[in-house]
Structures are given as C-alpha cells and as structure tokens.
C-alpha cells in the first residue's frame, strides 16, 4: 500500500450489530445497514414509514462508520447500505454489482476539521506535529488528506489516528488528540471545546466534493422493484416535509424527538438539520447528481475520488467510468409517484 501519512494507530471498523444472511425477495424482508446521521430520513425510519409504504419487514443495522456499512453490503449481509461517497467509491472500485440510487445529502458545514482549544492551533500550518483523528476510509478521511495536501503538510509532519466517532470523543476529552476530522453529530459535541479550522464545504469548492448516499445490490433491486419504488417515495416525502415545515421541527416535536432517539440527547438536531444541504428530487435527477451519465455530478465525484485515493493505495483500481454503478431509475419512480398523487398526466 502506498504510504503518505504515518499511521500511528489503526482500528478495525466493526459492526455494532450482527447482521443476518441476505433475505430472499419472496420473503418481503430486507436488511439495511446505515450510519446514524442527522437527517430527515431518520424520522421516517423511526416512525415506521418505510415499512408501511413498502409492506416489507425491514431490519435496520447501525454502524459507526460508512466503511462498516458498505462492507456489510459488499459481503452480501444486507441488501441496501447508507454511506459516504469515499467508501462507496472504494467498494465500487472493486467492480461490485451495486448501484448508487439516492443522494441523501451533500457535505458542507456538516463535516470539518475541528481543533481543540487547548491545541493552540490557529491556522493550518500549525497542524504540523499535531495528532489528528478520523475514521479511515470515510469522507472525513478523504477530505482530511485533501486538506493537508492543500496546506503542503507532508508525511513526516503529522500523526493521524484511525478512530471511530466514540473513540474520537474519548480521546478528545482525555487530551489524546489535538484535532479531528469528523461530522455531526460528533462534531456538535467537539465544538463545545474547539472550533472548525476547515469545513468540508470549502474543500468541495476546491475541487473534491463528497456526499452521502444509499446503495443497493443490483440483483436485489431488480427482483424487488415495488420495494424500491416505495422506499424512494418515502425518502422524497420526508425531505419535502422537512423543507416545507422546518420551523415546525422543533426540539419538542415528534420528528425531532424521533431522530434524537438515534443520535442521543446530546445532539443539537434542530440546528444540525439546518446545516445540511439536501438535493431536491429534481436536482438528484439532473446532471448535477444522478443524471448525465459519465458527466453527471455523482459519476464525476466518484471518479475524482478514486483517482485521488489511488495515490494512497486506498482503491484496488480506478474504473474508467463510474456511471454504470449509478441509477436514476428509482428516483424517477419517486417523481412519477408524486405526479400520480397530484393527478398529473403520466409522461
């Protein structure tokens, strides 16, 4: 493996739950791995909306990192996974028969490089000689590498620790690290004694965008089109609900209280939700994301991510085109469902 930064500690990403063998389509059951993040779709999960709409029994399995979530998908232990674009790129670069079918959110001011107040770090050049933690193989890891590259910080000038969010919190409290590249809800907790030095949104605009998305095993989605249509219909509906009623999603509302159950009472869900950039369904279907084939936003992001990660030996190979691993079929189905509900003529 190509070396760029000296790895001081490495943690094997492990699942928080034991996942079952793949479900058969005729059973009308499905297993989904995910990372608990601040997002409207967590309300749909907690309220049972996905099961009600699809008629499927859904088993949800939480992981601390997208690496664990995507690994479960790649091994066939689950049929759908939620993860960040970096780990999606890593798995798809193996030539897996899986499809990215939904962009859950763009990273902007929901992820960043946060420095502890005791570290004395005021500007990027002062990162030299410091200890930084991040979950390896994640969008956080990818953006940390890119940020350090922009600041001309070399391999021997920094120590990177591979840590899960819970480990980052512990090391932050005990003085084991000076900084961390992480996202909300963990980021929220670190900000009480630190500040963000670099936001992911800046790095997006500097040429290395990232996103979170849902990926499905291609054979399973083909065999279960009714589930896929219902699943994306709920994703679209809950996003539009929040967009139209954000002022009603208050701390004591059913929506926020449901999400808090997944993230813990320490999470500032109301504020964090306002920080998220969620593409509309129309934006998802455009060339900005799922549309456009090889020149679409999602395909270009995965390609650029793979090319960059290849410098560090983090992908098996860089594929010539990532659009075969992206589908807008189910997003189009969600749009059609919305038009049907509104009485619009079918196209």
16-107+211-341: in CATH 3.20.20.70: no
At residue 211's C-alpha, the angle toward residues 10 and 199, to 5°, is: 75
SS (H, E, C) 237-262: HHHHHHHHHHHHCCCCCHHHHHHHHH
Fold agreement (16-107+211-341, 111-205): yes
End-to-end Cα distance, the chain: 50
The pLDDT tens digits of the residues spanning 242-282 come to 999 999 999 999 999 999 999 988 778 999 898 889 999 99
pLDDT at residue 3 in the model: 37
What is the DSSP-derived secondary structure letter of residue 108? S
What residues does each domain of the chain span? 16-107+211-341, 111-205
SS3 for 216? Answer: strand
Question: Taking the CB of residue 3, how many other CB atoms lie within 10 A of it?
Answer: 9
Q: What is the pTM for the complete model shown?
A: 0.85
What is the DSSP-derived secondary structure letter of residue 126? G
pLDDT at residue 344 in the model: 60
Q: Which residues contact 247 (CB under 8 A, 6 or more apart)?
A: none
pLDDT at residue 16 in the model: 32
Rounded to whole angstroms, the Cα distance separating 87 from 91 reads 6
At residue 30's C-alpha, the angle toward residues 27 and 222, to 5°, is: 80
The pLDDT tens digits of the residues spanning 135-187 come to 998 899 999 999 999 999 987 799 999 999 999 999 999 999 999 999 988 99
Which residues of the chain form beta strands (DSSP E)?
Answer: 6-9, 29-34, 57-62, 80-84, 98-106, 111-116, 131-134, 159-162, 179-183, 194-199, 211-217
Written out in words, the top-level CATH class of the domain with range 111-205 is alpha beta
pLDDT at residue 345 in the model: 59
- Spell out, as residue ranges, where the chain has pLDDT lower than 70: 1-26, 344-347
């Amino acid at each position: 493996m190509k070396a760029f930064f000296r790895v001081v500690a490495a943690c094997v990403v492990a699942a928080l739950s034991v996942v079952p063998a793949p479900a058969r389509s005729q059973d009308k059951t499905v297993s989904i791995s995910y990372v608990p993040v601040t997002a409207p779709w967590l309300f749909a999960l907690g309220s049972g909306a996905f099961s009600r709409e699809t008629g499927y029994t859904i088993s949800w399995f939480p992981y601390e990192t997208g690496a664990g979530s995507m690994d479960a998908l790649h091994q066939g232990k689950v049929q759908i996974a939620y993860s960040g674009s970096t780990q999606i790129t890593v798995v798809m670069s193996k030539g897996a028969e899986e499809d990215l079918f939904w962009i859950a959110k763009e990273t902007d001011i929901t992820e960043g490089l946060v420095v502890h107040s005791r570290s004395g770090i005021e500007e990027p050049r002062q990162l030299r000689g410091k200890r930084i933690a991040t979950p390896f193989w994640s969008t956080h890891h990818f953006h940390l590498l890119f940020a350090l590259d922009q600041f001309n910080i070399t391999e021997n000038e920094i120590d990177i620790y591979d840590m899960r969010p819970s480990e980052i919190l512990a090391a932050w409290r005990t003085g084991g690290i000076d900084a961390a590249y992480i996202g909300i809800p963990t980021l929220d907790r670190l900000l009480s004694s630190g500040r963000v030095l670099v936001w992911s949104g800046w790095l997006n605009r500097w040429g290395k965008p990232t996103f979170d998305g849902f990926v499905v095993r291609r054979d399973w989605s083909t065999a279960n089109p009714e589930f896929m249509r219902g699943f994306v219909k709920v994703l679209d509906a809950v996003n539009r609900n929040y967009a139209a009623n954000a002022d009603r999603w208050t701390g004591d509302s059913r929506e926020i209280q449901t999400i808090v159950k997944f993230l813990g009472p320490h999470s500032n869900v109301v504020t964090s939700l306002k920080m998220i950039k969620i593409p509309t369904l129309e934006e998802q279907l455009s060339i900005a994301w799922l549309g456009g084939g090889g020149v679409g936003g999602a395909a270009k992001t995965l390609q650029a991510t793979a090319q960059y990660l290849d410098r560090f030996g983090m992908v098996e190979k860089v594929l010539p085109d990532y659009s075969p691993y992206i589908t807008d079929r189910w997003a189009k189905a969600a749009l059609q469902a919305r038009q049907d509900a509104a009485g619009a003529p079918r196209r």
